[in-house]
Amino acid sequence: MAFTHLHVHTEYSLLDGACRIEKLLDKAQEMGQKSVAITDHGVMYGVIDFYSAMKDAGMHPVIGCEAYVCRDRRDKSYVSREYSHLILLCENQTGYRNLVKLVSAGFTEGFYYKPRIDYKLLKEHTEGLICLSACLSGDLPKLLLQGRTEDAKAYALEMQALFGKGNYFVEIMDHGLPEERTVLPRLKALARETGIPLVATNDCHYLYREDAAAQEVLMCIQTGKTLQDETRMRMETEELYVKSEAEMLSLFSDCPQAVHQAGEIAARCQVTFEFGKLHLPRFPIETGETALEMLTRLCREGLRARYPDQADDPESEPSARLAYELDMISRMGYVDYFLIVWDFIDYAKRNGIMVGPGRGSGAGSIVAYTLGITQLDPLRYQLLFERFLNPERMSMPDLDIDFCYERRQEVIDYVARKYGADHVAQIITFGTMKAKAVVRDVGRVLGMSYASVDQVAKAIPFALDMTLEKALDISPQLRRMVDEDVQVARLYEMSLALEGMPRHASTHAAGVLITAQPVTDYVPLQLNDDVVTTQFPMGTLERLGLLKMDFLGLRNLTVLDDAVKMVQRGH
DSSP string, 14-54: TTT--B-HHHHHHHHHHTT--EEEE--BS--TTHHHHHHHH
What's the pLDDT at 368?
A: 96
Sheet order of strands, 531-537 included? 400-404, 547-554, 502-514, 424-432, 531-537, 525-528
- Evaluate whether 200 touches 255 at the Cβ level (below 8 Å): yes
Say how far residue 58 (Cα) sits from the centre of its chain. 23
Distance CA 207, CA 83 (A): 27
Give yes or no for residue 10 having a pLDDT over 70: yes
- Taking the CA atoms of residue 359, residue 360, residue 364 and residue 367 in that order, the dihedral angle to the nearest 10 degrees is -60
Q: Are strands 35-38 and 60-70 parallel, antiparallel or unpaired?
A: parallel
Range scoring the smallest mean pLDDT among 43-47, 78-82, 337-341, 414-418: 78-82
> What is the amino acid identity at position 133?
S
* CB 544 within 8 Å of CB 273: yes
In this structure, the strands spanning 129-132 and 168-172 are parallel
Count the residues in the chain: 571
The amino acid at 91: E
Pairing of strands 547-554, 400-404: parallel
What is the Cα–Cα distance from 2 to 172, expressed in whole angstroms? 18
CA distance 132 to 170: 6
| Mean pLDDT of the 431-459 span | 96
pLDDT (tens digit per residue) in 180-208: 999 999 999 999 999 999 999 999 999 99
Q: Which helix (H) or strand (E) holds 304?
A: helix 291-306
**Which residue in 103, 101, 108, 40 sits closest to 69, CA to CA?**
103
What average pLDDT does the segment 270-297 reach? Answer: 93
Distance (Å, whole) CA 406 – CA 413? 13
Q: What is the Cα–Cα distance from 421 to 412, expressed in whole angstroms? A: 10
Residue 376 has pLDDT above 80, yes or no: yes
User: Residue 135, SS3?
Assistant: coil
pLDDT at residue 571 tops 70: no
The CA-based diameter of the chain, rounded to the nearest angstrom, is 91
pLDDT digits (tens, 9 = 90+) for 72-131: 999 888 777 789 999 999 999 999 999 999 999 999 999 999 999 999 999 999 999 999
Give dist(CA 9, CA 202) in Å, integer.
11
Q: How confident is the model at residue 464 (pLDDT cuts 50, 70, 90)?
A: confident
The set of residues, in sequence order, having a beta carbon less than 8 Å from that of 310 and lying 6+ positions away, is 316, 317, 318, 319
Confidence of residue 277 (pLDDT cuts 50, 70, 90): confident
Average pLDDT of the segment spanning 138-144: 97
Q: Which amino acid is at 206?
A: Y
- 197 near 169, Cβ under 8 Å? yes
d(CA 135, CA 142): 9
| pLDDT tens digit sequence for 498-528 | 999 999 999 998 999 999 999 999 999 999 9
- Average pLDDT, rounded, for the chain: 94
> What 3-state DSSP class applies to 40?
coil
**Which residues is 534 bridged to in the sheet?**
525
Q: What is the mean pLDDT of residues 399-418?
A: 94
Greater model confidence, 312 or 329 = 329
Least confident of 38-47, 200-209, 233-242: 233-242
207 vs 529, which has greater pLDDT? 207
pLDDT band at 1 (very low <50, low <70, confident <90, very high): low
The predicted pLDDT at position 396 comes to 78
pLDDT at residue 238 greater than cutoff 70: yes
Confidence band for 490, pLDDT divided at 50, 70 and 90: very high
Q: Which of 34-48, 154-168, 273-287, 366-380 shows the lowest mean pLDDT across its residues?
A: 273-287
Determine the distance from the C-alpha atom of residue 340 to the mean position of all C-alpha atoms in its chain, rounded to a whole number.
Answer: 25
Q: At what angle do helices 212-223 and 435-445 cross, to 10 degrees?
A: 90
Q: Where does 443-564 show beta strands of DSSP type E?
A: 502-514, 525-528, 531-537, 547-554
Cβ atoms 140, 170 nearer than 8 A: yes
Taking residues 8-30, report their average pLDDT.
96
- Give the pLDDT score at 157: 98
Round to whole Å and give the CA distance between 38 and 55: 14
